[in-house]
Structure 1
Amino acid sequence: MSHGTIRYWAAAKAAAGRAEEAFAAGTLEDLLGQVRRRYEGNATFLKVLDRSSLLVNSTAVGRRPHDQVVLEPGWTVEVLPPFAGG
């Protein structure tokens, strides 16, 4: 288990009420489980989280299984909600 930071952007930041927070986790699945438990009473945030793209240390997670995405010490996870524009 390693320590790192999860950062929330746009609608995720608004729903969480903060830009970032620290966690200790070994995999992305573990981290997201902790985040969901912390915000279990915040349906708006959980909906945004489920629709967001994720970056781990600036690399898109894409469709990789979250239990296979290992978080190395000092990791940063970015939560990027869908956006529109052009």
Structure 2
Amino acid sequence: MAKGVIRYWAAAKDAAGVAEEPFEAKTLADLVADVTAGRESLAQVVRRSSFLVNGDPVGLRAHDAVALPEGATVEVLPPFAGG
């Protein structure tokens, strides 16, 4: 299990009620399951969000295939409008 920090932006931050929190997880799928358990409004936002792991976009990769390294920073980026 890797330890790291998950950071929430915009609507994800509002739904989480915090800007960031520590985590322990092996994969991005494990992390998403852990942070959204019992937090339905956050789960709704996360389902529509994209992710960065240490600044690298996850893109369309399956979340269970994205291993999290020790000390990782995972960022949750909800969709946004504008430009």
TM-score, normalising length: structure 2: 0.94
Correspondence for 1:75? 72
- Where has structure 1 moved over 2 Å in runs of 4 or more? none
SS of corresponding position for 1:77: strand
- Kindly tell me the number of residue pairs found equivalent between the two proteins: 83
Of 42, 45, 64, the residue aligned with 1:45 is 42
Q: In the alignment, what sits opposite 1:14?
A: 14
For structure 1, list consecutive stretches of 5 or more residues without a partner in the other structure: none
Structure 2 alignment gaps of length 5 or more: none
Q: Are 1:25 and 2:25 matched, yes or no?
A: yes
Q: Secondary structure at the match of 1:18?
A: coil
SS in 2 for 1:47: helix
Task: State the TM-score, normalized to the length of structure 1.
Answer: 0.91
Q: In structure 2, what is the Cα distance between the partners aligned to 1:46 and 1:70?
A: 20
Identity %: 59
